Structures are given as structure tokens and as C-alpha cells.
Chain A
Amino acid sequence: MMQRLECMRAIYDRLESCIVVTIMGAVSVELQSLGHRPNFFYLLHAMGLASSTGLGLALCRPKQRVVVFDGDGSILMNLGGFTTLARYRPKNLVHVIFDNESLLSVGGFPTATATGSDLARIATAAGVPRSTTVQTVEEFTAAFDEAVKSNELSCIVAKVEATGPKGYVTDLSMLENRFEFAGWIKKSI
């Protein structure tokens, strides 16, 4: 099974000019391990709201590409948000969901995707115009590139292994990250 870190490594270069929002836990730590950039915002709490933040950004910055790195545990807390995303379907938003079928950072308990809930189909049923499930890094990279090229709201569910880093606290302070991120967007007009 593929690793989340390998997926992010494969598209890391494409993120240089994107507005990137991630969830807490392994996604945030692993993206930082590849190299923090000022255009990356790590939402280290408020589970479920990374996708809503991406929607706000995408609607207010229609000419910039917004990428959200979400997780199964987080999106399951805001499934209604799929319907809001689908209602406005911003063309500049790519919604990546790393699905490891577990709440990894709090003991690895299985989420509902471990018992058959299919996030890509939920996205489709909510009205998200493009959604797909991928199993390999090659598929992931191709799906990401197609999503960008399609210029349509896209949801990519990447099935990944339930492994992650040893710890979840990094040297980057939350407020420093938040102000640097807002500053980068301001300058990117």
C-alpha cells in the first residue's frame, strides 16, 4: 500500500505556486518534512474545516490554485461540507483526501472507511464534478495532474497506509505559520 509521504513527495514541486491547506497530524508533519513553504497552512485543530477553509480561499481567490490535503477522519466530521463544495464547485480547488481508514494519531482506531464507506462515491453523490480513488503513487500523480488540467472541482481519495511520523509537534509555531501564510497570499495578488 502506498505511503502518504510518497504521494506528497511526488507532487511537491507542483505546490510551489498553489495555496495549500492541510489537516493536523501526519499530513502536516510529513509535508513539513519535505520542506515548509510560506504558502502552506497547517490547520492543527478544528477537524473537518480544512475543506471549508479551502472553499473560502478558492471563492475569494478564483485565479489561484488551492490544494487541500484532507484525511478520512477529518472529512467524516464535515460530510455536509461536500455538498457546500459541490454547490459552488470552484474550478481552482483540488481536494485530496488521504484515506488510511483510521484515526492514526489517536491510537489508530478504524474510521467508517474501514467498514465500507466510500468517500469518492460520497463526493460524487454530493455533486462534486470529478472524484476518484487511487491506490498507487503513479495513479495519484496522474489524478492530481488531471485535476489541475481539468479546471473543475476535483476530489482525489488516496488510499494510504496507516503509518505516520513518531511525533506530531514541529518547530513551526501555529501563529507564525498563520501570519506568514496570510502574508504570502497578500503578496501573491
Chain B
Amino acid sequence: MPVSQTNSKIIYEALKKNGIGLVSALPETWLVHLIRMAEDDPEMILVRLAKEEEAVGISAGAHFAGVKSAMLMQNHGFLASINGIVSFAQLYRIPLLMLISHRGHFGERDPWQTQGGGVTEPLLHALGIRYDCLTDPKTVDRKIADAQTLAQSSLYPVALLLTRELMWEEQ
């Protein structure tokens, strides 16, 4: 599978360095290595979801308990979580570190992914959620640290879009 294991590892190690103790996830192709790394890590609490919105509640519970968490989801999962993000995380000032695979953008071959790719960034803007794109493995570490810092200081959701350039190795 051409999902980059090397870059997934860089992302996972950055999460660990930033003290992430719980990862919630709903599988999606680009996230497979990240989920396996969480699965193989005895220090990580991995919560496999039925639907992504649950992750907002789980991350809020973890935050109340003093545990830093990250959410792994596809952009369509972000779309499915919006009520929870607005009426829990934003309303109650809960920090969320959302790692969102940015499907449906340039290079996307799956026709069914293409609609969501066009609305992800406009929705993040509309929600006032600050975000950045992870494209270059060299800047992943810094960007994850910075995103986590802002989530914790603002007590607000932040998002990192995982791009094709980073996640997918063309064969």
C-alpha cells in the first residue's frame, strides 16, 4: 500500500513527543499506519470509534481527566463531527487536536471523495478553527507541536490537514 510509513512514523512520534496519551480513530486508508502504531504502543490508549463525532466527547472526557488526546479522522469524519465540535468543544472551551486526512483534493482518484475535499477548508474557516496543512515531513514535528500549543493555550479545537503529498507515495 503506498501510504507512507515513514511519514506516518514522523507524525506518530511528534504526537508522542507532545504528550498525547489517547488517540481516537476511525479507519481510513491514509491513516492505517498511524492506527497500527497506536495499536502497538502499550502506553497509548486507542479508542476505535463507530462514528467520528464520538471522538469529541471522548477527547473532552480525556481533557477533564488531564490526558492529552488526538483525533484521527478523514475529512468526511470531520464533517460528521461538526455539531459535537460546535456545541461541545467550542461551547465549553475544550482543546481538540484534529488530524484530518484531506481526501478529495488534487490527485484524488476516488470520485466519491471529491465533494468533501472542496468544503473542508471553507468549513474550518467558517467555524473559526485554525488549521495548517502537513505537506513536508521536515516541518511535521514543528507544526504538530505548534498546533498542540495553540489548542492548549486557547482551549479550542485546532486542525492539521494531512495532505496527499505527505501521506501517499505514488507508485
Contact = CB atoms under 8 A, between A and B. Distances in A.
Closest 6 pairs between A and B when the two form their complex, measured CB to CB = A56-B61, A52-B57, A80-B50, A49-B57, A60-B65, A46-B88
Given A80-B51, A84-B49, A49 B62 contact: no
B87 interface: yes
16 contacts: A49-B60, A55-B61, A56-B47, A56-B64, A56-B65, A59-B47, A59-B62, A60-B22, A60-B45, A60-B62, A78-B51, A80-B54, A175-B92, A175-B93, A178-B92, A189-B66
A84 B58 CA distance: 11
Interface string B89-107: 0011100000000000000
B66 A60 contact: yes
Nearest to B58: A56
A57 B61 contact: yes
Contacts of A45: 87-88, 91
A46 B65 contact: no
Contact of B57 (A51, A80, A186): A51
A80 B50 CA distance: 5
A97 to B, nearest CB: 15
Interface string B54-72: 1111111111111101000
Contacts of B39: none
Given A80-B50, A81-B50, A84-B48, A53 B60 contact: yes
B93 A56 contact: no
A46 B51 contact: no
Interface of B: 21-22, 45, 47-51, 53-67, 69, 83-84, 87-88, 91-93
Given A45-B87, A48-B53, A52-B56, A59 B45 contact: yes
A49 B88 contact: yes
Given A48-B53, A52-B56, A78-B54, A59 B48 contact: no
Contact of A185 (B47, B48, B49, B65): B65
A96 B93 CA distance: 26
Interface size of A as a range: 35 or more
Contacts of B67: 60
A15 B52 CA distance: 30
A87 interface: yes
B28 to A, nearest CB: 16
A84 B47 contact: yes
Contact of B54 (A43, A44, A81, A182): A81
B53 A49 contact: yes
A158 to B, nearest CB: 21
A18 to B, nearest CB: 13
Contacts of B50: 80-81, 83-84
A12 interface: no
A149 to B, nearest CB: 24
A122 to B, nearest CB: 13
